[in-house]
A and B are shown apart, each in its own frame.
Chain A
Amino acid sequence: MIILTGNDLKTGDVVWWTGDGWSRHVGHAVFVGSGEEPGGAAEIMHREEAARAVNGPYEVEATDEGAGPVPSHIKERMRAAGPSVRLDLGVQAEG
């Protein structure tokens, strides 16, 4: 399944599409239809980027683990949490 991510333009923070905005917490992300279908990923990304609500959005594979989506690839899990060698930094530090 697909979730959407990008960076906040001003701060550079990693953000995830929640259905009505962007959150720093991947657990708030919603699954979206992929590709070009109406209301799907391409339309959302195009609209949100044009409004400068997000920078460089792209699709990420994720699974539903009950407590919210979990990105499939380690790189996206690292983006969602923060550096594994600095647990005091990033979203992971906020509990």
Chain B
Amino acid sequence: MYQYDEYDQKMVETRVAEFRDQVERRLSGDLTEDQFTPLRLMNGLYLQLHAYMLRVAVPYGTLSAAQMRMLAQIARKYDKGYGHFTTRQNIQYNWIQLKDAPDILADLATVEMHAIQTSGNCIRNISSDQFAGVAKDEVCDPRPYAELLRQWSSFHPEFSYLPRKFKFAVIASAEDRAAMRLHDIGIEMVRNDADELGAKFFAGGGMGRTPMIGPCVREFVPADALISYSEAILRVYNRYGRRDNKYKARIKILVHELGIEEFRRQVEAEFAHMHPLDLDPPRAELTRIQAFFAPPAYEPLPDGFDDSDPDFKLWADANLHPHKVPGYAAATISLKPVGGIPGDASAEQMDLIADLAARYSMDEVRVTHAQNLVLPNVRQADLYALWQELDAAGLAPANLDLASDIIACPGLDYCSLANARSIPIAQKLAQRLAPVERDLGELKIKISGCINACGHHHAGHIGILGVDRKGVENYQLLLGGSGAEDVSLAKITGPGFDENGIVDAVETVTNLYRKRREDGERFVDTYRRLGMDPFKEALYG
């Protein structure tokens, strides 16, 4: 894992001291709320439905055991004993007190963490593949590039006041586990015909009010030019992004309005101007960063483990991912117990996961955009013992990518922007579908409490969007989305449903799938083959 150098540490500590002073001035009345709000948002502190909410960055979703322990400690000491892992691979605390915020940030700084750039119109936390560095199918470890982008974008003066927020995802495999093309910039590390490493750049993807799949800007940018090409895109966006209209200010609107050819022409012109200026970091800096991500000391081990316990086998079949080193596996810890709150983990669970990471996973934990956690480096021989400990703590739902593994944003239970609750819908759906979820196979259900789409409803095989109909919660049903390499945007079926009606409606469409599927088809495949009409017919008659 990357470790801060003295500059990183100094930057974070200086920011904590600065924010401590700002909080004191707010509490003493020297700053008004209008003056203070942008300052607290720059430090990830929102005022939400019930209290202040702190969003802590987890760079590219990677945590050490010590960092996870600190997250548990913060939940216990300053919050109400739990945290919520988000679709941006971050963690949020829902019950923070303003007076404690500087102390929390100081505690985070002791484990090289912060909440900087988790809000505001800047470059947000860089997200990545939860299996980065261990995936069998990757062309390289994408994390050093994500770290390079993190360093470049942290406090970047030119990009601190963009037209709107800006999100990057970096992956290095053809299988997209990070919803890469639904980001403002999506980068896929690739190799060209000469086996050189480079980056395929996509721009203008996003969800929210106007969902768009990011088109390709350039097929191959040499890896050494990753930063200057990113900078060229950001410069075009910073200059021409729609600052006049908040709803049209994301880069996706600019790319759409210009058209990809014209957008590409402008980016290439900017890049041609900038690249010769030698703004990219020297190769030695990348090499320095890469050294932190060198593979840990794997032992030579054979593949294979005893899965004769049927409950363990269920979990192993669903929640393990192949590792690039024989004898190891990446194990997903599902934070989706049936009837639970998607993405929530108690302080005790976080402590246990930190402990398990130290004992079984070479000190590492990952956060997934689907609000689960991963132990990326487990010896296959240890899997059974690991599963037993997870199971005893309620952390072994065997449901990865199944119907009860639902993404749900905090919705109206916590979020002041929400129109409707998301979590109770997820709970009811999980309860309804869990008994048949193995038969249903891969099914990605994603729920958002408003059009901002933090719950990725456009990218759900089944998406649900909460709306406010004259003060009453109502839910629109969408079908056919995907955030993976078969990326597509879900379409609305028709009129919405009430809280119970939406659960029945989802069951109706899954029943139709079970009747009409062909061999090997997932729900989304059957939908794509049949089209919307039979689903509409089943729903509305």
Contact = CB atoms under 8 A, between A and B. Distances in A.
B47 interface: yes
Given A12-B96, A12-B98, A85 B413 contact: yes
A47 to B, nearest CB: 14
A64 B50 CA distance: 23
A84 B421 contact: yes
Interface stretch (A27-35, A38-46, A73-81): A73-81
A12 B51 contact: yes
Nearest to A81: B50
Interface of B: 26-27, 29, 33, 47, 49-52, 80, 95-99, 341, 412-414, 416, 418, 421, 423-424, 427, 471-473
A54 B361 CA distance: 47
Contact of A9 (B49, B80, B98, B421): B98
Interface string A30-69: 0000000000000000000100100110000000000000
Interface string A5-26: 0010111111000000000000
Contacts of B341: 85-86
B413 A12 contact: no
B418 A89 contact: no
Contacts of B471: 72-74
- Count chain B CB atoms within 10 A of each CB in A11, A82, A85 and give the residue with the most: A85
Contacts of A9: 26-27, 98
17 contacts: A10-B98, A12-B51, A12-B52, A12-B96, A12-B98, A13-B50, A14-B49, A14-B51, A72-B471, A75-B416, A78-B413, A79-B49, A83-B50, A83-B414, A84-B421, A84-B424, A86-B413
Nearest to A76: B49
Nearest to B426: A85
A83 B413 CA distance: 5
Contact of B97 (A10, A82, A84): A10
Contacts of A14: 49-51
A85 B423 contact: yes
A90 B29 contact: no
Contacts of A56: 33, 47
B427 A85 contact: yes
Contacts of B29: 52
A53 to B, nearest CB: 11
A26 B414 CA distance: 18
A44 B33 CA distance: 17
A55 B29 CA distance: 11
Nearest to A89: B80
A45 to B, nearest CB: 12
A7 B47 contact: yes
A1 B29 CA distance: 32
B415 to A, nearest CB: 10
B47 A74 contact: no
Given A9-B27, A56-B33, A75-B412, A90 B50 contact: yes
A78 B47 contact: no
Nearest to B49: A79
A82 B413 CA distance: 8
Given A56-B33, A85-B341, A85-B427, A12 B418 contact: no
B99 A11 contact: yes
Given A55-B33, A85-B424, 15 more contacts: A7-B47, A7-B51, A9-B98, A10-B99, A11-B98, A12-B50, A12-B98, A13-B50, A49-B33, A52-B29, A56-B47, A74-B412, A74-B471, A78-B49, A84-B421
Contacts of A10: 27, 97-99
Contacts of A78: 49, 412-413
